[in-house]
Chain A
Amino acid sequence: MKFVDEFRDPELAKKLLDRIHRCSTRPARLMEFCGGHTVSIFKYGIRQLLPKHIEMLSGPGCPVCVTANADLDKAIALSHLPNVIITSFGDMIRVPGSHSSLQEAKAEGADVRVVYSTQDALSIARDNPDKSVVFIGIGFETTAPTVAAAIRQAEAEGIKNFSVLSLHKLCPPIMKAILDLGEVRLNGIICPGHVSAIIGSYPYRFIPQDYNIACVVSGFEPLDILQTVDMLVQQIEMEQPKVEIGYRRGVRPEGNQPALKLMDTVFEVSPADWRGIGVVPGSGLSLKEKYRRFDAEANFDIKPGPVREAKGCLCGSILRGVSTPLDCKLFRQACTPEHPVGPCMVSSEGSCATYYHYGEADGR
């Protein structure tokens, strides 16, 4: 595939690795904030190829994983309402909330449908005018504009039976929250690639300025990751932290302006509840007053009941980079991809699922 295969060239990867080994002298702790990067790093065995003094950590970069049980419970409560069709991306369906999952609700008779795109959710709304179609809006800045686009389209077409449970989250505020928690000391951050395709690289400037941490926006192929590690190493060696873009074919410093404008039209910044972290001000998106009729939470009377967390599950501290799946007693025992206890084992890009699938390739 064009723009993929060229960035998997093993010869060039080897040369870049040699360069990293030659140039890197200082201990460095790097964190990737995107689940897609976590998968690439494990899939290509990059952790074990790097010098021993470069440590790689995973952050809260999987939208399914960071969704709090209280929010999952809202989605499940909505699915039990009469005449409601729940539409959702696939990963979300199997995540256990406090008492059940959307999949279990479906088994009990709820109408829960997996969609690939908000476009599909709109089609279901058009085809079922006597039902209310709710889309479970999860995702970071990459996905939020697609939900904004669907809401605008519903508005333009006069589709009245479509609404969104907005659980969208924002990357830069959670990066700041993780850094302010001070639980992990970082030297470099691998900034998300496709979030940055939308927001650009400017929103990360506070990180080198206020925290003295190197930042590089990365693509997802092995050469992209190695290039990013190399750029971070250079910044760290020279003690000149700044924000750079490695993934230049996909990310412009100013981001995608039409997408940002669309997001700003439909959404406003709001507090959001993050698994393992709690409510972080200004880290989520809710619908603006003008679009309240598309807001599922405002339009349906749901009482999800008390929130319960799975006993022994370490997803929360894994998402903060404080623990790894190997620290969790449930990992590979009570918690497997077939029978997940926590969301990090459900999502294909959750840390636990990634360790489960690729952990041995990582030599751990």
Chain B
Amino acid sequence: MCLAIPALIKSINGHQAVVDIDGVTREVSTMLTPEAKVGDYVLLHTGYAINVIDAAEAEETLKLLRQISEVC
């Protein structure tokens, strides 16, 4: 129910944005993420962007996982 999937913002008009979800285009609300910009990935939940995905943090997490997996 709390499912949210990554979606790429293609354009924004007021509180509405057009996003690309793995090739599927749809209109979503950005009322909850006024900071979202074109080119951002957002977490999409029931037609609303609920957060902007932090791409740098995603990279950091993967880097960390690669590092720690070698040690205990």
B65 to chain A, nearest CB (A): 6
Q: How far is the CA of A214 from the CA of B57 in the complex (A)?
A: 22
User: Nearest Cβ distance between residue B50 and chain A, in whole angstroms?
Assistant: 5
- What CA separation (Å) do A35 and B66 show in the bound complex? 28
Whether the Cβ atoms of A197 and B51 lie closer than 8 Å is yes
Which size class do A's interface residues fall under? 35 or more
Q: Closest CB-CB distance, B58 to chain A, in whole Å?
A: 4
Cβ-defined contact, B50 with A1, below 8 A: no
Q: Which listed residue (A12, A62, A259) contacts B69, Cβ 8 A?
A: A12
Complex-state Cα separation, A89 to B72, whole angstroms: 44
Chain B residue contacts of A149, Cβ below 8 A: 29, 31-32, 48
Choose from B2, B22, B66, B72 the contact partner of A194 (Cβ within 8 Å): B2
Which residues from A are CB-within-8-Å of B32?
145-146, 149, 256, 258-259, 262
A237 — nearest CB in chain B belongs to which residue?
A: B72
| Chain B residue contacts of A252, Cβ below 8 A | 51, 54
Nearest chain A CB to B16's CB is how many angstroms away?
9
A residues less than 8 Å from B55 (CB atoms): 3, 249
**Interface positions of A from 316 to 355, Cβ below 8 Å from B:** 347, 349
B57 touches which of A4, A230, A248 (Cβ 8 Å): A248
Say yes or no for B25: interface residue by CB 8 A criterion.
Answer: no
Main secondary structure of the interface of B (DSSP, over half): mixed
- B12 to chain A: which residues have CB within 8 Å? none
Contact between chains at B51 and A117 (CB < 8 Å): no
Count of B residues near A, CB < 8 Å?
A: 37
**Residues in chain B near residue A116, CB distance under 8 A:** 46-47
Q: Does the CB pair B45–A4 fall under 8 Å?
A: no
Residue of A nearest to B62 (CB): A6
Kindly state whether residue B43 has any CB partner on chain A within 8 Å: yes
Q: Give the residues from 1 to 44 in chain B that come closer than 8 angstroms, CB to CB, to chain A.
A: 1-6, 8, 21-22, 29, 31-34, 41, 43
Q: A1-B6, A143-B2 known; A194 and B62 CB under 8 Å?
A: no
Known: A197-B43, A249-B57. 8 other contacts (CB 8 A): A1-B6, A3-B6, A15-B70, A16-B69, A89-B46, A248-B54, A258-B33, A259-B32
Chain A to chain B contacts (Cβ below 8 Å), 13 pairs? A3-B41, A19-B72, A35-B2, A36-B2, A89-B1, A142-B4, A192-B2, A194-B2, A194-B45, A197-B43, A249-B53, A250-B4, A347-B1
